[in-house]
Amino acid sequence: MCVKGVKDALKLAGRGFIFLGICTWLIYMFPRLKYFFFPVCQELPDSPLLESNRQKQEQVRRVQQHQHNDKTSDYAESVIKPRQNVLLQQRMERYHRMTGETWKLSQGFPVGGEDDQVCGDAGVDENPNQGARRRRKLLQTVTHDPVQQEVPKQKKVIVLPDEPSTDTEGVVKIALRCPSGRTICRRFLKTWSSLLLLDWMMKAGYHPALYTLCTSYPRTVLIAAADVSLEEAGILTNTVLNVEEKEPSIT
């Protein structure tokens, strides 16, 4: 009886597996049989409706692109170009002041201004004697005016103190990393004024009006003043300073 019960259970399990297989096959084949017996008429891709929608989308895209281009050009004309012109003008002014050619910054004066116009108007209704008298007075006025000679500006002569020896107390070694890639080194005493660093930078060819000194990490601008020593400025050990160009301020 026990063996017969096991055989019946195996037969029942086999029939269950066969039924599950048939159901799985029907589920897999049903969509394919459906599309086979009832095909779906799909709309052709080149139908007039799709072509009209595609043309509308292309037209909308072109309009948006033109609007974006107009906004970009307006921003460049009204914002970017004026900023660039201001920066260029400031750099030119700084360059002319550095080279001593400040006369290029002025607009100049017209030749034959109001004086020539007054003289021309005065000579219309005067006789020869009055004209000669007026010219003599003008010549005396021009001759007697003192001529003010422009005093030439004296160039600043940079003289750095002698380098202390390495065994001197309070000596630090400072390196300047220039924008050109060159690095120069020198020894200073911590009690010396921090303005000596600006003089050293200027002697290396970088004017303090255009360049400044900054520490490497963290990046901070070095405080340089006549009454501030190197130690008070934060230089306590051997230090590397970067020579960086100042950013012009736009007002």
Mean pLDDT of the region 11-37? 84
**Is residue 94 very low, low, confident or very high in pLDDT (cuts 50, 70, 90)?**
confident
Q: What are phi and psi of 30, to 5 degrees?
A: -60, -50
Question: Which DSSP state fits 235?
Answer: -
Q: Say whether pLDDT at 102 is over 60.
A: yes
Cross-strand bridge partners of residue 175:
185, 240
Task: Give the pairing of strands 211-215 and 239-245.
Answer: antiparallel
Mean pLDDT of 218-243: 86
Average pLDDT over residues 41-54: 69
| Distance separating alpha carbons of residues 57 and 66, to the nearest angstrom | 14
pLDDT tens readout for residues 178-216: 988 889 999 999 888 888 888 888 888 888 888 888 888
Contact 189, 170 (CB under 8 A): yes
- Find the farthest-apart pair of alpha carbons in the chain and give their distance in angstroms, rounded: 163
What's the average model confidence in pLDDT over 15-25?
A: 89
Instruction: Give yes or no for residue 113 having a pLDDT over 50.
Output: no
Q: Where are the beta strands (DSSP E) in the chain?
A: 171-177, 183-189, 211-215, 239-245
User: Which pTM value belongs to this model?
Assistant: 0.39
| Bridge partner list, 243 | 213
CB 190, CB 198: distance < 8 Å: no
Decide if 170 contacts 191 (C-beta within 8 A): yes
Q: Are strands 239-245 and 171-177 parallel, antiparallel or unpaired?
A: parallel
Predicted pLDDT of residue 125: 57
Residues 93, 97: Cα–Cα separation, whole Å: 6
Residue 154 φ/ψ region, left for φ over 0, alpha for ψ in the -120 to 50 degree band, beta for the rest: beta
CB 102 within 8 A of CB 153: no
Residue 76, pLDDT above cutoff 80: yes
Is residue 43 over pLDDT 60?
no
